[in-house]
């Protein structure tokens, strides 16, 4: 399973490395040390924690997550494979993105929970719902 440094996790969560370090110090996400002493976060643990953060469990005073050119770097939180199609969920900071694609594409990319991935959004129309 892939592991992430505090800095990598911070980028995937859309927060500063200091915020990610404080969360790790507070025990909100488990870390372990590699052979060089760097703190790492297991990919599955980070995926689960990213969902929690995305649902508003983060601190109120953090900088908002922004995207550039409709690219949302994040972490894969779920992969559901069908016979022909697949559904992949990515948590990119506070944003949860769901993509429907072919099973073959998911297998070729080797997508699995805990991996880094970037969702790129291109759309010719926007739907607005009343809240």
* pTM of the model as a whole: 0.57
Write the pLDDT tens digit of every residue in 14-54: 888 999 999 999 999 999 999 999 999 999 999 999 988 88
Write the pLDDT tens digit of every residue in 77-90: 999 999 999 999 99
pLDDT at 56 over 90: no
Distance CA 103, CA 109 (A): 10
- pLDDT value of position 76: 95
Mean pLDDT confidence for 112-121: 90
Q: Which segments within the chain are labelled E, that is strand?
A: 3-5, 32-33, 39-42, 71-81, 85-92, 95-102, 116-120
CB 119, CB 74: distance < 8 Å:
yes
Q: What is the side-by-side strand order in the sheet with 32-33?
A: 3-5, 39-42, 32-33
Distance CA 30, CA 102 (A): 33
């Amino acid at each position: 399973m892939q592991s992430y440094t505090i800095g990598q996790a911070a980028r995937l969560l859309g927060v500063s490395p200091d915020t990610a370090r404080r969360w790790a110090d507070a025990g909100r996400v488990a870390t372990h040390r590699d052979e060089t002493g760097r703190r790492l976060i297991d990919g599955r643990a980070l995926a689960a924690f990213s969902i929690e953060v995305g649902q508003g469990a983060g601190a109120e005073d953090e900088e908002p997550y922004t995207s550039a050119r409709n690219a949302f770097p994040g972490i894969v939180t779920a992969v559901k494979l069908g016979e022909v199609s697949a559904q992949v969920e990515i948590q990119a900071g506070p944003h949860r993105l769901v993509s429907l694609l072919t099973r073959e594409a998911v297998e070729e990319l080797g997508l699995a929970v805990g991996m880094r991935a970037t969702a790129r959004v291109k759309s010719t129309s926007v739907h607005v719902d009343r809240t």
